[in-house]
């Protein structure tokens, strides 16, 4: 390194000799290389043609669905399998060999070499274990085999999945069990395909080690209680009442070059540093705007892949923040929707890679911009009764609807804490309770019409439904539209949206299984409460039903009305008002997760056969552990990036300023040292806060998981915010050519 000799005046006014190295800018930095690569992007693969293969032909092409089964299975087997799917009744094990053989032939025709039991561990991820169809036949060759037993049951060595203490590694036995209600499918890879079989994952004692088993159990519980209500209203056809779910997935896309130039993005899925860009989302010019070409190409291929897997994706659009998008399917039964949602996340990530981008499903990849949620639209219905949350044209007259709707309101009121805890994660804490939509306070948006009806009920009986005049726009060529009975409210964590509820607090990175299990179970409990009251009041006499319903609804609404709020959920007034109403405001995971330990919650899950006390404890342990691990990883990353990327860049620039100052002074010029002072202050702040974070991170001895989560939440995270504050301010001073990390501006706007 070349050095120049300068003389610095010491306190006695004499010139001291010092060596000040000249600084060369780091032009080959990953950041500049990334920018060059992004602007030179060309698609790698030839364009897709929907003319050659129309979407109708693609949809479900890789799914062992009902029509394939109808073609390939003997009639009695087909009937038996479909019967189980529709009624939720037990599966006849004698069909397994026949189904397995048909499935294998079908999959091999589609190029499959292996089969995989796919399961959903408590991490929220999707896991699979692949086995070849081939078995040696003893004569030196091999035959393709797949028995009913192999279809029904697998034994992955799942000892390294978190089980929250249910299983120790020495008793690692766990089984995967075929879930006939979620169809098998063939997953493509350029070098072959795999037959995938959705399964439940349980311990050798039958305890649920996964996310699917409780979903199935909660659906069963919901059906049982819904049937009792339907029976009171004279519907006894017994068609399975299923909970339905339509999850809207928000995500960000960034170019992979930027992604890999940011250790925080590729390791933690979010930026731990980054100053606000001069232009963010304030112009709302991205929301619903024209979709950029590369992004649209990515969306078309993602949808095409999902179509093949039978995932009914329907909607795509830009979201509020720059670089943010949404994909939403048509709703399906909760279990299937959950599996399909997992496939959607995997497919988004996989296809993004192909288009040179990274798909970020973290809840808050970029500070200061909107985070990503997963709005879970939820309802319940059956093949004979349709959607049970459809109010019809005159909801005040629709007693059955009102009972189901009131049951949901009561459930949300009574189990606010549980609903908050099932969306708790380190990532989602950056949305909920962090001045972003939706707030951590659980409330229900009902809309004017329903609110009015429930108010009338509370006042003695509902006589009318507010009707809106047709919508007039004042332009003759536009057709008249009926006005919706309720407006929309984007700030509510739990909103009635015409014929379903939308749970908006769910995090973008989460499995929707937990939220669905909670909703199904609390509504089952509420329906149980309603049915018991109504059965008692009517004593089997349907003449008395109307009066009994009026009494029940009045009781529910008197108790649960504090949870109804149609105003602006972001406002400060609401926070104060919610407190007056006695609603919970569990701001962080450390506040929310311990709800799972409450006796009321344990009793709830136990009573409806959804989770035993031990199973619930195992979930709490796992989620606490995941929370602490996520924060630990982020804090360690922060230390590393602060010390090896940001601090070096800052001192280089500081040195550059200092040497300029010295040199100019030597030549007799004045040099204003304001910037140098500021840099020195920030560098010191960065160094001190980083060292303190390091210290706090490596200390602490905790009694249990709850205490540990509390420690991370109260001690570690605030220091991380501190370190970031210095780093982000430094980004505004350090010479651009020295700054090592792609900036928000670059990641969000260079496409
Ligand atoms: P919006 O713009 O009104 O939110 P979208 O078209 O984005 O509507 O769809 C919201 C989601 O709600 C879709 O996935 C849709 O299938 C789903 N949905 C509609 N009806 C139901 C229902 N009965 N149960 C569950 N989800 C539903
Ligand atoms: Mg929507």
Q: 394: helix, coil or strand?
A: coil
Confidence of residue 476 (pLDDT cuts 50, 70, 90): low
Q: What is residue 475's predicted lDDT score, i.e. its pLDDT?
A: 65
Ligand 1 atom closest to Cα of residue 377: 26
Q: What is residue 479's predicted lDDT score, i.e. its pLDDT?
A: 66
Ligand 1 atom closest to Cα of residue 326: 7
Ligand 1 atom closest to Cα of residue 330: 16
Q: Measured at the alpha carbon of residue 395, what is the angle toward residues 394 and 399, in degrees to the nearest 5?
A: 120
Q: 28 pLDDT exceeds 60?
A: no
Instruction: Give the residue-averaged pLDDT of 110-114.
Output: 95
Q: 341 pLDDT exceeds 80?
A: yes
Cα 381 from Cα 376, distance rounded (Å): 16
Nearest CA residue ID for atom 22, ligand 1: 379
From 333, 377, 389, 408, the mutation candidate for ligand 1 (largest count of ligand atoms within 8 A of CB) is 377
Q: 108: helix, coil or strand?
A: helix
Q: What is residue 190's predicted lDDT score, i.e. its pLDDT?
A: 86
Q: 407 pLDDT exceeds 70?
A: yes
For domain 627-749, which CATH number applies: 2.60.40.1760, 3.40.50.300, 1.20.120.1560, 3.90.1150.10?
1.20.120.1560
> What are the start-end ranges of the E strands in 336-450?
357-360, 374-382, 386-387, 444-445
Cα 663 from Cα 5, distance rounded (Å): 9
Q: 4 pLDDT exceeds 50?
A: no
Instruction: Give the residue-averaged pLDDT of 309-324.
Output: 91
Q: What is residue 19's predicted lDDT score, i.e. its pLDDT?
A: 41
**CA 315 / ligand 2 centre spacing (Å):** 9
Q: 13 pLDDT exceeds 60?
A: no
**Tens digit of each residue's pLDDT (9 = 90 or more) over 253-274:** 999 999 999 999 999 999 999 9
Which ligand is the nearest neighbour of the Cα of 499?
Answer: 1
Cα 656 from Cα 647, distance rounded (Å): 14
Segments making up each domain of the chain, as ranges: 2-29, 55-208, 220-612, 627-749
Average pLDDT, the chain: 89
Nearest CA residue ID for atom 6, ligand 1: 315
Confidence of residue 553 (pLDDT cuts 50, 70, 90): very high
Instruction: Give the residue-averaged pLDDT of 64-80.
Output: 96
Ligand 1 pocket list (CB less than 6 A): 244-246, 248, 315, 328-331, 377-379, 387, 497, 499-500
**Tens digit of each residue's pLDDT (9 = 90 or more) over 574-586:** 999 999 999 999 9
Q: 487 pLDDT exceeds 80?
A: no
In the chain, % of residues over pLDDT 90 = 70
**CA 248 / ligand 2 centre spacing (Å):** 6
More confident residue, 686 or 489: 686
Cα 277 from Cα 732, distance rounded (Å): 10
Ligand 1 atom closest to Cα of residue 390: 23
Cα 31 from Cα 735, distance rounded (Å): 14
Q: What is residue 483's predicted lDDT score, i.e. its pLDDT?
A: 59
Q: DSSP string covering 453-504, please?
A: HHHHHHTT--------PPB--S-TTSPPBPPPSS---TT-SEEE-SSSEEE-
Confidence of residue 45 (pLDDT cuts 50, 70, 90): confident
Q: Measured at the alpha carbon of residue 343, what is the angle toward residues 342 and 344, in degrees to the nearest 5?
A: 90
From 317, 327, 328, the mutation candidate for ligand 1 (largest count of ligand atoms within 8 A of CB) is 328
Q: DSSP string covering 198-231, please?
A: EEEEEETTS-B-BSHHHHHHHHHHHHHHHHHHHH
Ligand 1 atom closest to Cα of residue 329: 14
**CA 520 / ligand 1 centre spacing (Å):** 17
Cα 355 from Cα 683, distance rounded (Å): 39
**CA 352 / ligand 1 centre spacing (Å):** 25
Q: What is residue 168's predicted lDDT score, i.e. its pLDDT?
A: 58
**CA 121 / ligand 1 centre spacing (Å):** 27
Q: Quick check: bond before 438 cis, omega within 30?
A: yes
**CA 465 / ligand 2 centre spacing (Å):** 25
**CA 330 / ligand 1 centre spacing (Å):** 7
Q: What is residue 564's predicted lDDT score, i.e. its pLDDT?
A: 95
**Tens digit of each residue's pLDDT (9 = 90 or more) over 375-385:** 999 999 999 99
Which ligand is the nearest neighbour of the Cα of 488?
Answer: 1
> Phi first, then psi: what are they for 623, rounded to 5°?
-70, -35
Which ligand is the nearest neighbour of the Cα of 319?
Answer: 2
CATH 3.10.20.70 fits 55-208, yes or no: yes
Ligand 1 atom closest to Cα of residue 497: 3
Q: What is residue 413's predicted lDDT score, i.e. its pLDDT?
A: 98
From 241, 248, 337, the mutation candidate for ligand 1 (largest count of ligand atoms within 8 A of CB) is 248
Ligand 1 atom closest to Cα of residue 488: 3
Instruction: Give the residue-averaged pLDDT of 680-695.
Output: 98
CATH number of 220-612: 3.30.590.10
Lowest-confidence segment of 286-295, 502-511, 657-666 by average pLDDT: 286-295
**CA 376 / ligand 2 centre spacing (Å):** 9
Ligand 1 atom closest to Cα of residue 331: 16
Instruction: Give the residue-averaged pLDDT of 455-469.
Output: 79
**CA 516 / ligand 1 centre spacing (Å):** 15
**CA 479 / ligand 2 centre spacing (Å):** 24
**CA 246 / ligand 2 centre spacing (Å):** 9
Nearest CA residue ID for atom 2, ligand 1: 315
**CA 337 / ligand 1 centre spacing (Å):** 12
Q: What is residue 88's predicted lDDT score, i.e. its pLDDT?
A: 82
From 331, 389, 404, the mutation candidate for ligand 1 (largest count of ligand atoms within 8 A of CB) is 331
Which ligand is the nearest neighbour of the Cα of 314?
Answer: 1
**What tokens does 487 get?**
């407006």
Is this model's pTM higher than 0.75 or not?
A: yes
**Tens digit of each residue's pLDDT (9 = 90 or more) over 86-102:** 888 888 889 999 999 99
Ligand 1 atom closest to Cα of residue 499: 23
Instruction: Give the residue-averaged pLDDT of 595-610.
Output: 98
Residue 288 backbone zone (phi > 0: left; psi -120 to 50: alpha; other: beta): left
């Amino acid at each position: 390194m070349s050095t120049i000799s300068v003389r610095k005046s010491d306190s006695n006014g004499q010139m001291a000799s010092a060596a000040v190295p000249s600084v060369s800018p780091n032009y080959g930095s990953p950041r500049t290389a990334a920018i060059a690569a992004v602007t030179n992007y060309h698609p790698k693969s030839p364009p897709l043609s929907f003319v050659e293969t129309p979407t109708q032909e693609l949809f479900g092409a890789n799914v062992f669905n009902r029509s394939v089964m109808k073609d390939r299975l003997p009639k009695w087997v087909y009937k038996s399998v479909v019967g189980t799917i529709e009624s939720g009744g037990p599966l006849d094990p004698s069909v397994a060999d026949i189904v397995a053989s048909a499935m294998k032939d079908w999959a091999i025709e589609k190029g499959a070499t292996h089969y995989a039991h796919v399961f959903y561990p408590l991490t929220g991820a999707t896991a699979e274990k692949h086995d070849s169809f081939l078995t040696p036949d003893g004569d030196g060759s091999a035959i393709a085999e797949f028995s009913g037993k192999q279809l029904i049951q697998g034994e992955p060595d799942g000892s390294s999945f978190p089980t929250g203490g249910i299983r120790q590694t020495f008793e690692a036995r766990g089984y995967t069990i075929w879930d006939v209600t979620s169809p098998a499918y063939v997953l493509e890879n350029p070098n072959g395909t795999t037959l995938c079989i959705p399964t439940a994952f349980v311990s050798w004692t039958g305890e649920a080690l996964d996310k699917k088993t409780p979903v199935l159990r909660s659906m069963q519980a919901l059906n049982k209680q819904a049937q009792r209500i339907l029976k009171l209203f004279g519907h006894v056809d017994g068609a399975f009442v299923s909970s339905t779910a339509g999850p809207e997935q928000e995500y960000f896309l960034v170019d992979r070059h930027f992604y890999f130039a940011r250790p925080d993005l590729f390791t933690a899925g979010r930026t731990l540093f980054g100053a606000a860009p001069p232009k963010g989302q304030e112009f709302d010019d991205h929301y619903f705007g024209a979709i950029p070409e590369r992004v649209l190409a990515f969306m078309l291929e993602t949808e095409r892949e999902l179509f093949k897997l039978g995932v009914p994706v329907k909607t795509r659009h830009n979201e509020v923040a720059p670089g943010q998008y949404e994909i939403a399917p048509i709703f399906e039964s909760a279990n299937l929707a959950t599996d399909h949602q997992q496939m959607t996340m995997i497919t988004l990530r996989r296809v993004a890679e192909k288009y040179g981008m990274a798909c970020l499903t973290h809840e808050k990849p970029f500070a200061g911009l909107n985070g990503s949620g997963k709005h879970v639209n939820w309802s319940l219905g059956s093949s004979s009764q349709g959607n049970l949350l459809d109010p019809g044209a005159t909801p005040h007259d629709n007693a059955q609807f009102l009972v189901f709707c009131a049951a949901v309101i009561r459930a949300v009121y009574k189990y606010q804490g549980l609903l908050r805890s099932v969306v708790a994660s380190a990532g989602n804490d950056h949305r909920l309770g962090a001045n972003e939509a939706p707030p951590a306070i659980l409330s229900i948006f009902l809309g004017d019409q329903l609110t009015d009806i429930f108010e009338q009920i509370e006042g003695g009986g509902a006589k009318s439904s507010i009707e809106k005049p047709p919508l007039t726009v004042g332009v003759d060529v536009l057709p008249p539209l009926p006005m919706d009975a309720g407006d929309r409210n984007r700030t509510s964590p739990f909103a009635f949206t015409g014929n379903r509820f939308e749970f908006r607090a769910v995090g973008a990175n989460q499995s929707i299984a937990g939220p669905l299990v909670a909703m199904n179970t609390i509504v089952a409990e509420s329906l149980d409460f309603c049915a018991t009251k109504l059965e008692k009041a009517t004593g089997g006499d349907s003449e008395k039903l109307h009066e009994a319903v009026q009494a029940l609804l009045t009781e529910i609404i008197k108790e649960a009305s504090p949870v109804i709020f149609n105003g602006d959920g972001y406002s400060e007034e609401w926070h104060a008002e919610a407190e007056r109403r006695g609603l919970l405001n569990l701001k962080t995971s450390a506040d929310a997760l311990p709800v799972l330990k409450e006796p009321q919650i344990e009793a709830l899950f136990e009573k409806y056969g959804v989770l035993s006390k031990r199973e619930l404890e195992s979930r709490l342990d796992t989620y606490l552990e995941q929370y602490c691990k996520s924060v630990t990883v982020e804090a360690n990353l922060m230390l590393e990036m602060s010390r090896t990327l940001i601090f070096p860049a800052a001192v280089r620039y500081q040195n550059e300023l200092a040497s300029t100052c010295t040199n100019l002074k030597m030549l007799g010029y004045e040099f204003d040292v304001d910037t140098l002072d500021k840099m020195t202050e920030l560098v010191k702040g960065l160094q001190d806060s980083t060292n303190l974070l390091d210290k706090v991170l490596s200390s602490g001895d905790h009694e249990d998981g709850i205490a540990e989560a509390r420690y991370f939440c109260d001690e570690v995270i605030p220091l991380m915010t501190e370190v970031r504050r210095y780093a982000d301010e430094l980004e505004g001073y350090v010479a651009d050519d020295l700054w090592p990390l792609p900036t928000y501006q670059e990641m969000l706007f260079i496409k």
